[in-house]
Chain A
Amino acid sequence: MTTAKDFTLAELIITAAAEAWRGDGELLATGIGTLPRLAAGLARLTFSPGLRLTDGEAYLVAEPVPLGPRGGASPRYCGWMPYARVFDSVWSGRRHAMVTPVQVDRWGQANISALGPDFRRPRVQMLGLRGFPGNSVSHKNSMFLPNHDRRSFVEGEVDVVASVGFKTNNWPAGAGPDFVRIGIVVTNLCVLDFGGPDHAAQVLSLHPGVAFDEVQAATGFALLRAPGLQQTPAPTEEQLAIIRRLDPHNLRAGVIKGNPPGAGSAGGEGAALADAEPGRRP
């Protein structure tokens, strides 16, 4: 495997996000949004062959379906997965989704529903709860946020708890977050998880050119440096080739503003290296 020299931040994120599904065995993998979907396909075609993917409509497919217009090419179907069966799969626990919430808080709770203090009259109505409460109490969820800032990683609690987390006083007596499993959270700055002491948020890797203090300043709650904090590994040429095949129309270029390079041309690289050793692939 050859480490790529020339890649975009979006491609770095796809490669980092694919790691969410490493070791998952056989289950339904769902990446919601362009980069998570490419990440799931990349994981499926490399180190997690047991992942089962859909065409984004109602069928399981034999191979990840490339994004965008297919020029008449039809996916090869190998199973039916209408919404009713998606719910059955969700509730059985045999699924790992990567979702794209608008707000995340220190308890790992996430919001896609609405913004503002008064739910009866929200400042901004967004999607609604969708399947987030059921997903988050049933199976593992990872997250992708394209703009890591204090509006997305909020200081207090998310405005609407769509995806549940580890805030125990949100749970009734006799129930609790035992079923909650949060995987990795991939952003335009770093990869973090809620695997610190008492589910504290911890940074696992910093993208090239990003310093820990920069991530902390962009986050509304305290972050820990995970043991073994490293630099997010660059994609390999082999991974880039797969990403290009799965995204022939380069939709990934439109996800991160300005489609910046992934190798960290911005200043602060020296500071970043003080925090993180260049990554080794596990």
Chain B
Amino acid sequence: MNKEITLAAVVAELRDGMTIGIGGWGPRRKPMALIREILRSGLRDLTLVAYGGPEVGMLCAAGKVGKLVYGFVSLDVIPIEPYFRKAREAGAVDVSELDEGLLLLGLRAAGHRLPFVATRIGLGSAVMTNNPDFRTVRSPYGDGEELLAMPAIRLDAALIHVSRADRAGNTLTFGPDPYFDDLFARAAEKVFVTTEELVDTIASDNPEDMKANLFEPYLVSGVVEAPLGAHPTSCHYGYGWDLDHLKAYAASAGEEGGWRAYFDRHLTGDEARYVASVGGEARIRSLPIPTF
């Protein structure tokens, strides 16, 4: 079984209007090589579901987004994603702004093939007023508590960046936090994985290594070899986020024609051109993992 495909082949599987979930968290381990391929494509009117980072801002800047489903969109050290902010303040995108945990619960419900999960989260807050289609349910037990019926968030596709993968769709994801990539994978009709390292097999004699396997290979539709594919976000233990690049990107949002200039400088060629445009492989690999 060989699931290896190219970035372009993944994008060819996507359609206008699809709901696409993106793994990672803020400026951490985002499938940016695939995002860049989408930015170069004609895709539009996407619904994005994410613990959002620069991928959300870039897709907004490029006019690819019809709707956003998110708990936050942040570059962490740059707290508010600049192009997300711009799109919101222009009223350019529809949004479903959620509690981070509701996003988790909605994805989990989809993965479990349930219509909703009951939760207290969101009640009494702007989640209810800003998502007028959300309904409550009453506990059928003695407590009779009224709870939010958080609807399942079903994805047409999930895009996830991993550390190591083989062509059968087995994956390993290193780093301190798996985030919610497993839930994105289960909530999606199709899962496309980019990997820092493509190997013949991830098999190991040490079962402890397999704790880094977050989701099952039979969920994975395609695997793309994409070293440095999370740049400018971080990817343990290969490289930290590129703060200089993120600062320049953020600054471009305040400049006339800033997105066009960013696009022309970094996105007009392939990934090799991209890596060269941001200073080359050695520079990326020397970016330190941040401490807090």
Decide: B145 and A126 in contact? CB cutoff 8 A. Answer: no
* Residues A179 and B120 in contact in the complex (CB < 8 Å), given A133-B125, A174-B146: yes
Interface residues of B in 8-46 (CB under 8 A from A): 25
A125 / chain B contacts, CB cutoff of 8 Å: 80, 84-85, 88-89
A124 / chain B contacts, CB cutoff of 8 Å: 85, 89
B62 to chain A, nearest CB (A): 18
Q: Is B280 an interface residue (CB 8 A)?
A: no
Q: Write out, one digit per residue, whether chain B residues 165-179 have a CB within 8 A of any chain A CB (1) or not (0).
A: 000000000001111
Partner of B127, one of A58, A114, A122, A133: A133
In the complex, A41 Cα to B53 Cα: how many Å? Answer: 29
Partner of B147, one of A162, A175, A180: A175
Decide: A137 and B120 in contact? CB cutoff 8 A. Answer: yes
Closest to B87 in A: A125
B98 / chain A contacts, CB cutoff of 8 Å: 129
Question: Taking chain A's interface residues, is the majority helix, strand, or loop, or is none over half, making it mixed?
Answer: loop
B291 to chain A, nearest CB (A): 6
In the complex, A163 Cα to B99 Cα: how many Å? Answer: 10
Q: Is B100 an interface residue (CB 8 A)?
A: yes
B274 / chain A contacts, CB cutoff of 8 Å: none
In the complex, A222 Cα to B18 Cα: how many Å? Answer: 50
Interface residues on A, range: 35 or more
Interface residues of A in 100-148 (CB under 8 A from B): 113-114, 118-134, 136-138
Decide: B129 and A161 in contact? CB cutoff 8 A. Answer: yes
Question: Chain B interface: which of A19-27, A164-172, A227-235?
Answer: A164-172
In the complex, A66 Cα to B178 Cα: how many Å? Answer: 25
Interface residues of B in 138-184 (CB under 8 A from A): 138, 144-147, 176-180
Q: Is B63 an interface residue (CB 8 A)?
A: no
Partner of B79, one of A55, A119, A127, A162: A127
Q: Is A276 an interface residue (CB 8 A)?
A: no
B92 to chain A, nearest CB (A): 9
Partner of B99, one of A84, A119, A131: A131
Decide: A131 and B88 in contact? CB cutoff 8 A. Answer: no
A161 / chain B contacts, CB cutoff of 8 Å: 124-126, 129
Decide: A170 and B124 in contact? CB cutoff 8 A. Answer: yes
B129 / chain A contacts, CB cutoff of 8 Å: 119, 161
* Residues A127 and B72 in contact in the complex (CB < 8 Å), given A87-B104, A119-B130: yes
B100 / chain A contacts, CB cutoff of 8 Å: 83, 87, 129-131, 134
In the complex, A184 Cα to B129 Cα: how many Å? Answer: 27
A129 / chain B contacts, CB cutoff of 8 Å: 71-72, 97-100, 125-127
**Shortest 7 CB-CB distances between A and B: which pairs?**
A174-B146, A56-B292, A121-B91, A58-B176, A164-B124, A125-B88, A133-B125
List 30 interface pairs A-B (beta carbons < 8 Å), by A numbering. Answer: A59-B176, A70-B291, A82-B176, A83-B100, A87-B100, A91-B101, A113-B97, A113-B126, A121-B90, A122-B89, A125-B80, A125-B85, A126-B80, A127-B80, A128-B71, A129-B98, A129-B125, A133-B122, A133-B123, A134-B99, A134-B121, A134-B122, A137-B120, A137-B122, A138-B120, A170-B124, A171-B124, A174-B138, A175-B145, A176-B124
